[in-house]
Chains A and B, each alone.
Chain A
Amino acid sequence: MASVSRLSRELHPLAWWGWAVGLATAASTTTNPLVLLLIVATASVVVLARRTDQPWARVFRLYLLFGVVIVVVRVFFRLLVGGAYGTTVLVELPEIPLPDWVLGIRLLGPVTQEALLGGLYDGMRLATIIICVGAANALVNPKRLLACLPAALYEVCTALVVAVTVVPQLADSVRRVRAAQRLRPSPQGRGRRHQRLRRVLVPVLEDALDRSLALAAGMDVRGYGRSGGLGRRQRLLTGALMLGGLLGIATGVYGVLDTTAPRWLAAPMLVVGVALAVAGLLSAGRRVGRTRYRRDPWRWPEWVVVASGIATAGLLTRVARDQPLLALPSPLEVPTLSVLALLGALLPLVALVAPAPPLVRTATPAPPSTSTREKVDA
């Protein structure tokens, strides 16, 4: 049945996120620039091959750009307030002393290879983590992802769905408001600068609030948040479970911290607390009497994709443990690669077994407009 599982469809959102988190975890274990670049490259290949043509799929470029900015900023700050560490001085810059109360900070000073490359490697690591998350963002419809969260958090997820919907609209709104504000004479004199921020922020906020209320009204009249017949007793039970769980956790935490307290207050209490809390969450989730129109299936490609991400994380964690000099190279030496590291960094390419996404017609040409034209010409 392999062919059916690989027919064009969108992969389960959690599979992509699992894969990306694996990559990010792998990246966080190393500052080796070669390994990091390989991870970015594999992530990019998979994204280019498996993203849809939806708007969120286009953000990957921004994440790449953001990564570059991070590296530049990191290096810049390292050089600006790096302090004198390392001895291999590359350039001497004049030092600007700061008053004593700014503890341990001085501006500029000698640029060392250690500071420069340290900042570069460090920045590359953070940039790679961000690009991995960006890959997940580009591959997954955020709304489908939020639909996977537990039912008890349904309302919270909805707020997040609204947030995810609003972010791109915000950019649009800011652009529109800025253009509109230029249509009125700008205020003169004192306070111009803060006026400028306000002239954008207030209309954008008003606009966003108006839209959100319209959206809320739209959701409400279509039955969003109907009580699924949760009775008074069920509510009481839910509340009791949740409170009991939290109390259990609180007591357990105390038990863990105070070693003089009886031992049954520690781990057993924590376990009981968590169990009660989870039961409470499940019970609360039962109030949501909602069904799903199209459920995302979880088949073997999902397993393979997730497994490749986890395996990458595992391999590179092993590299970090067994070959620390390779994983965290000294800024004074040329970074190297090993077979294990190479394998780990290239393994995420296995995710290409994921089915190709369906073609979503986002920009089909408008329906034939000749009819109007004829009418108007007639």
Chain B
Amino acid sequence: MIELRGITLTYDDGPPVLSGVDLAVDEGELVLVAGRTGVGKSTLLGVLPGLVPRFTGGTLTGDVLVDGRSVIELPPRERAHLVGYVGQDPVAGFVTDTVADELAYGMEQLGLPPATMRRRVEETLDLLGIADLRDRDLRTLSGGQQQRVAIGAVLAVHPRLLVLDEPTSALDPTAAEEVLATLTRLVHDVGLSVLLAEHRLERVVPFADRICLLTGDGGVHVGDPADVLRTSPVAPPIVELGRALGWEPLPLTVREARRRARPTLSALRPPVDVPEPPAEPDHGLSASRVTVVHGRHVAVREVDLDLPAGSVTALMGRNGAGKSSLIWALQGSRRRYAGTVAVTGPRGDRVDPARLSADERVRAVGLVPQSAADLLYLETVDDECAAADAGSVREPGTCRALLARMVPDVDGTLHPRDLSEGQRLALVLAIVLVAEPPVVLLDEPTRGLDYPAKEALAVTLADLAARGRAVLVASHDVEFVARVAGRVVVMAEGEVLSAGPVRRVLAESPSFAPQVSKIVGGGWLRVDEVVAAAAAPDRPATGEAS
């Protein structure tokens, strides 16, 4: 049994990030750590392998016990055989080149005999269902495969506890399912203890034995998932629906919820969308037969896409489906192999952004790339804002005002890389928006954002659309897309699979259907619209958010 006792962590003179945390993880138990971003989920997880405070600074008091023996004074490397840890980005932690070598690395460090290593490598490959990847180059694996190799790499040394920090947040729904299925098997069959943090609760809650909710003041609330989620500030849509409709006991899986929903909600009339305004041909962005080629690989094949002004369109699809390539090609920086793109240029005429100079392009199409921090190069937030204002010849303070509208209280003297994910994204978006581009493209902006930060982003995007901008957002996050988008385009293998109003496209696809749609069916997407309809069952529901 692994136990945390009275864990308190402070950085310098600040208030404690964790204070008096007690948590015990039993054998064969999966405990989910939940809470808003910035309340210390990663910090709590890092205490177990000893990365906190040794890698982060700060002062830790309390005790960490493994089978009653204190390990708090041991550095991470001396705990390797007890606690396995997989960080947020598995690729960043890979030390070797091939799958088998990566699995063996930890055992090499422990000095195990080669024969044992060979046996355990094979066992681990089988256990995780990655035996056919044995000699593959780690960089050529898909995200879900990489995550499973990272888990296998720490499992091979047979630790008592597996600690996972957001194992599925960067993955598309299918890959996330692969990883979670593997984890459940490990917990059930091997009796491994797992402690994992995840902000996309809807994926993990059904698998959790207990939830450890960080309350935000440094304390934790540990208990049965249904109990904890009843009052939790973060909750998956399924729980929100249950709470709003007063279901008791609170359903945690789609199956349970569907059973509860059948008697009350089946009578609801399916929602009707307000018809979209007809797309005006000379506003927003229109692209036809766009093709992007990398060497011999066709990343995007003859894609037609219209982004009408005043609308938010979501771009979905698995990792590697060509979403990023398409976005960069629409923006004009990446060379198109074929096809045309037209946007309203800086002088008000329709132009191909690829033909503009870099500075003109910034004013025609704004793009927030996947690693948004690449745009930042100065030492404080204020400097970044000032540089953006000066670059676009705007009033000083424009960028700061844009930022304040998205996230109100950001300390301007902070280093941009010390901001939270949500704040940093807002800063980059503000810098991009200073140039007032009529078209805004965002590549996976929801990565690492919690529910409130996603909500803030959704409000921002709706606001942009209301101001007449055309917005395209690529995302894996079904719930976010359901909340924010009017239209959805689904890509696979570089081609468009389906496109149309969000209600139709999401409802059609089992892997992209939001939880509400799985429970209630019939084109329902969001908790608020179901609740509103349930409150007034006679009135035909509309697609407008209440």
Q: A and B: real partners?
A: yes
Q: Is B256 an interface residue (CB 8 A)?
A: no
Given known contacts A218-B95, A221-B76, A291-B112, A186 and B318 CB-to-CB distance under 8 angstroms: no
A:327-378 near B, CB below 8 Å: 358, 360-364, 366-367, 369, 371-373, 375-378
Q: Is A298 an interface residue (CB 8 A)?
A: no
Partner pick for B111 among A228, A294, A369, CB 8 A cutoff: A228
Q: Is A211 an interface residue (CB 8 A)?
A: yes
Mark each residue of chain A from 211 to 250: 1 if its CB lies under 8 Å from any CB of chain B, else 0.
1011111111111111110000000000000000000000
Residues of A within 8 A of B75 (CB): 220
Q: How far is the CA of A293 from the CA of B118 in the complex (A)?
A: 7
Q: Is A193 an interface residue (CB 8 A)?
A: no
Expressed in whole angstroms, the minimum distance between the Cβ of A342 and any Cβ of chain B is 39
Residues of B within 8 A of A227 (CB): 78
Residues of B within 8 A of A206 (CB): 373, 417
Judging by beta carbons under 8 Å apart, are B377 and A203 in contact? yes
Q: Is B497 an interface residue (CB 8 A)?
A: yes
Residue of B nearest to A53 (CB): B137
Residues of B within 8 A of A90 (CB): none
Judging by beta carbons under 8 Å apart, are A360 and B374 in contact? no
Residue of A nearest to B89 (CB): A214
Q: Is A149 an interface residue (CB 8 A)?
A: no
Q: Is B182 an interface residue (CB 8 A)?
A: no
Residues of A within 8 A of B109 (CB): 222-226, 290
Residue of B nearest to A225 (CB): B77
Q: How far is the CA of A290 from the CA of B359 in the complex (A)?
A: 54
Judging by beta carbons under 8 Å apart, are B376 and A214 in contact? no
Q: Is A163 an interface residue (CB 8 A)?
A: no
Given known contacts A183-B366, A220-B51, A222-B105, A188 and B391 CB-to-CB distance under 8 angstroms: yes
Q: Is A6 an interface residue (CB 8 A)?
A: no
Q: How far is the CA of A204 from the CA of B105 in the complex (A)?
A: 28
Partner pick for A291 among B92, B114, B373, CB 8 A cutoff: B114
Residues of A within 8 A of B207 (CB): none
Mark each residue of chain A from 159 to 194: 1 if its CB lies under 8 Å from any CB of chain B, else 0.
001000000000000001101111111111100000
Q: Is B380 an interface residue (CB 8 A)?
A: no
Q: How far is the CA of A54 from the CA of B320 in the complex (A)?
A: 21
Q: How many residues of B contact A (CB 8 A)?
A: 92
Residue of A nearest to B85 (CB): A221
Judging by beta carbons under 8 Å apart, are A376 and B490 in contact? yes
Q: Is B435 an interface residue (CB 8 A)?
A: yes
Mark each residue of chain B from 311 to 336: 1 if its CB lies under 8 Å from any CB of chain A, else 0.
00000001010000000100101000
Q: Is A289 an interface residue (CB 8 A)?
A: yes
Judging by beta carbons under 8 Å apart, are A376 and B511 in contact? yes
B:275-299 near A, CB below 8 Å: none
Partner pick for B374 among A181, A226, A293, CB 8 A cutoff: A181
Q: Is A296 an interface residue (CB 8 A)?
A: no
Residue of B nearest to A295 (CB): B114
Q: Is A198 an interface residue (CB 8 A)?
A: yes
Residues of B within 8 A of A361 (CB): 135-137, 140
Judging by beta carbons under 8 Å apart, are A177 and B111 in contact? no
Q: How far is the CA of A237 from the CA of B501 in the complex (A)?
A: 75
Judging by beta carbons under 8 Å apart, are B391 and A185 in contact? yes
Q: Is A58 an interface residue (CB 8 A)?
A: no
Q: How far is the CA of A202 from the CA of B79 in the complex (A)?
A: 35
Q: How many residues of A contact B (CB 8 A)?
A: 63
Q: Is A143 an interface residue (CB 8 A)?
A: yes
Residues of A within 8 A of B89 (CB): 214
User: Among B6-14, B18-26, B96-104, B459-467, which stretch is in contact with chain A?
Assistant: B96-104
Judging by beta carbons under 8 Å apart, are B135 and A226 in contact? no
Q: Is A114 an interface residue (CB 8 A)?
A: no
Given known contacts A185-B434, A291-B114, A360-B137, A375 and B375 CB-to-CB distance under 8 angstroms: no
Q: Is B393 an interface residue (CB 8 A)?
A: yes
| Most B C-beta atoms less than 10 A away, residue of A176, A182, A378 | A182
Expressed in whole angstroms, the minimum distance between the Cβ of B215 and any Cβ of chain A is 27
Q: How far is the CA of A377 from the CA of B498 in the complex (A)?
A: 8
Partner pick for A292 among B114, B363, B377, CB 8 A cutoff: B114
Judging by beta carbons under 8 Å apart, are A291 and B55 in contact? no
Q: Is A106 an interface residue (CB 8 A)?
A: no
Judging by beta carbons under 8 Å apart, are B80 and A180 in contact? no
Judging by beta carbons under 8 Å apart, are B137 and A362 in contact? yes
Given known contacts A182-B333, A185-B434, A188-B391, A226 and B77 CB-to-CB distance under 8 angstroms: yes
Q: Is A199 an interface residue (CB 8 A)?
A: yes
Judging by beta carbons under 8 Å apart, are A373 and B497 in contact? yes
B:55-97 near A, CB below 8 Å: 55, 75-81, 83-85, 87, 89, 92-97
Q: How far is the CA of A213 from the CA of B89 in the complex (A)?
A: 12
Given known contacts A203-B377, A292-B114, A218 and B137 CB-to-CB distance under 8 angstroms: no
Residues of A within 8 A of B113 (CB): 291
| Most A C-beta atoms less than 10 A away, residue of B98, B111, B509 | B111
Residue of A nearest to B505 (CB): A376
Partner pick for A378 among B84, B333, B509, CB 8 A cutoff: B509
Residue of B nearest to A161 (CB): B95
Judging by beta carbons under 8 Å apart, are B137 and A289 in contact? no
A:112-163 near B, CB below 8 Å: 141, 143, 161
Q: How far is the CA of A163 from the CA of B216 in the complex (A)?
A: 39
Judging by beta carbons under 8 Å apart, are A376 and B110 in contact? no
Residues of A within 8 A of B121 (CB): 293
Judging by beta carbons under 8 Å apart, are A186 and B417 in contact? no
A:284-319 near B, CB below 8 Å: 289-295
Judging by beta carbons under 8 Å apart, are A180 and B371 in contact? yes
Q: Give 9 closest A-B pairs by Cβ, nearest first.
A: A218-B93, A185-B391, A223-B80, A180-B374, A214-B92, A293-B104, A223-B109, A222-B106, A289-B111
Q: Which residues of A contact B (CB under 8 A)?
A: 54, 141, 143, 161, 176-177, 179-189, 198-199, 202-203, 206-207, 211, 213-228, 289-295, 358, 360-364, 366-367, 369, 371-373, 375-378
Q: Could you list 6 examples of A-B contacts with CB < 8 Å?
A: A181-B374, A183-B368, A207-B371, A220-B77, A223-B78, A223-B110
